[in-house]
Amino acid sequence: MVKKENIVQKKKEHVKKLAEGAVMGLAFFVMFGIMIIPGLREDMGTVLNVVLGPLAAIIDSFLIMIVILAVITGIYTSIVQKYTMNWEVMEKSKELQKQMRAIQKEYIEAKKEDNKHKIKKIEKKRSEVMRKQTEFSGEMMKQQFKPMAYIVIITIPIFMWMWQYASGPVIFPLIGPKELTATFVFGMPYWVLWYMVCSIPLTQVVRKAIGIKSSM
22-35: average pLDDT: 68
Residue 170, classed as helix, strand or coil, is: strand
Q: Kindly state the percentage of the chain with pLDDT values over 70.
A: 81
pLDDT value of residue 39: 83
pLDDT value of residue 207: 85
pLDDT value of residue 29: 66
Q: Which of 166, 172, 210 is nearest to 189 (CA)?
A: 166
pLDDT value of residue 81: 84
d(CA 34, CA 157): 10
- How does residue 133 score in pLDDT terms, banded at 50, 70 and 90? confident
pLDDT value of residue 213: 63
| Weakest mean pLDDT among 51-60, 146-155, 159-168, 171-180 | 146-155
pLDDT value of residue 216: 43
Q: Give 59's contacts (C-beta < 8 A, 6+ positions apart).
A: 65, 68
d(CA 23, CA 37): 19
125 contacts 103 by C-beta, under 8 angstroms: yes
Is the pLDDT at 2 greater than 70? The verdict is no
Q: Which of 47, 19, 77, 29 is nearest to 165 (CA)?
A: 47
pLDDT value of residue 20: 63
pLDDT single digits (tens) 70-104: 999 999 988 888 888 777 777 887 888 888 888 88
203 contacts 78 by C-beta, under 8 angstroms: yes
pLDDT single digits (tens) 30-71: 766 676 677 888 888 899 999 999 999 999 889 999 999 999
- How does residue 112 score in pLDDT terms, banded at 50, 70 and 90? confident
pLDDT value of residue 55: 93
pLDDT value of residue 12: 66
d(CA 114, CA 180): 60
155 contacts 77 by C-beta, under 8 angstroms: yes
